[in-house]
Structure 1
Amino acid sequence: MGINEDNLHASLAHLVLCCVAGRGISRMHGKSFTDPGMHANFFIHGVLGFLHFQSGMFNNDFRAAYVISYKASRYLALPCLMADLYRSNQALSAIHLVSGIVPFALALAGEDNISLGNLVIACNIISLCYYSLENNREWGWYTAGAGVFAYFIAPQKSSIMMYPLGLALMEYCAYRVFGIVFESL
């Protein structure tokens, strides 16, 4: 495929991410600052991704904004979700938020530590699995699996559209984690 086709596919993948994240934002009705964190983060990344990959049509360069939103979608989204899930435990909620802020701040300072970032992502995924087991949330397991795909498998592929599609899958599963769970009799 040519560069223009790759850009078109990446733009479409970011539009899919926008649509899924927009639905996630519309379903949130909490009064927490972390509540829309993951959903808003993915929505903004989708918009900036579309603009970045179509910047030739707009005669603007959105690369700097896209790089920041990429780092935010990588390091802040999952900690925001976990902070929201653990909102009843303020200490654990704060730990999850700080776990994402540290690698994000390092990335913004130009000292991106990929190993630390991957460790933080893995710890948040493990915490999500524990939360899902403890609270009987099957969509938490799906979200964790989608997170493994989005953060560890998709970046290894050469296709630039796999990461936003992985985030869209993770977003689709994540806003279902908050649903009502009926205990089986």
Structure 2
Amino acid sequence: MGQDDNIHAALSHVVLCCVSGPGLGLVHIRNYTHPGMHTNLLIHGIIGFLHYHGGFGDVAKAYKISLAASRYLPIPCLMADLTRGDDVRSMLHLLSGLVPFIIAATGTEDRHFGDLLILINIICLCIYAHEKRVSWGWYTAGAAVFTYLAAPVIAGFGPKVIYPLGLALMDYCGYRVHGVARAASSSPPPPR
């Protein structure tokens, strides 16, 4: 891994910031779960840039925590917001992200347990997309599968470049799921 890899990784984190920042700025609802997805990814993009740029001191510990947060929190936050009308399901989705994040932040990460909970949230997103007929839900689920399951094993640039780009794609699609779902719920019923 040379300096070019670090430059590419820093630039891919800038792309993540460029996608998640405007997504955060366009959220107009009083809710902390869905903006949590964008905020989490924006912070991870900033810390990732600082980490791979190398000119800002040692931020490796902060990067490790933000990496765990970017892995375990975005999809559960999105699902918690999409199931906001059902408090139990919403809280279960939020907890399904918080538990593996806290485990990872303490340094005892169980990757298989975390992957299982990510996969459950992705499946729930697919069910939501099917029930509500929201194609952006399918795109977000596909981006999440790519980011969390395929990017770590891709050769070439490797996960430190592909992962933040996958997060940016997932964030872009995730904002559209929420926008479509909100527009559908606020539209007046069809005339009889």
Structure 1 length normalisation: TM-score?
A: 0.94
C-alpha separation in 2, matches of 1:35 and 1:112: 25
Q: Percent identity?
A: 51
C-alpha separation in 1, matches of 2:74 and 2:176: 16
Report the AA paired with residue 47 of structure 1: I
Alignment match, 2:177: 177
Alignment match, 1:162: 162
Secondary structure at the aligned position of 2:118 is classed as helix
C-alpha separation in 2, matches of 1:177 and 1:107: 28
Alignment match, 2:42: 43
**1:157 positional shift:** 2.1
Secondary structure at the aligned position of 2:176 is classed as coil
Alignment match, 2:5: 6
Structure 1 residue 96 corresponds to structure 2 residue 106:
no
C-alpha separation in 2, matches of 1:29 and 1:156: 37
C-alpha separation in 1, matches of 2:34 and 2:102: 21
Alignment match, 1:142: 139
Deviation string 1:83-142 (CA, Å, 9 cap, x unpaired) is 011111111000001111111111112110000000000000000000001111000000
**1:42 positional shift:** 0.4
C-alpha separation in 1, matches of 2:39 and 2:166: 16
Secondary structure at the aligned position of 1:35 is classed as helix
| Aligned-CA RMSD value | 1.4
C-alpha separation in 1, matches of 2:22 and 2:149: 25
Secondary structure at the aligned position of 1:161 is classed as helix
How many residues of Structure 1 are paired with residues of Structure 2 in the alignment? 180
Report the AA paired with residue 39 of structure 1: H
Alignment match, 2:129: 132
**1:77 positional shift:** 1.1
Alignment match, 2:16: 17
Deviation string 1:30-79 (CA, Å, 9 cap, x unpaired) is 11121211110000000000000012x23x00110000000000011110
C-alpha separation in 1, matches of 2:88 and 2:102: 21
Task: From 105, 111, 120, give the equivalent of 2:102.
Answer: 105
**1:80 positional shift:** 0.5
Secondary structure at the aligned position of 1:87 is classed as coil
Extract unaligned runs of 5+ from structure 1.
none
Structure 2 length normalisation: TM-score?
A: 0.90
C-alpha separation in 1, matches of 2:169 and 2:70: 13
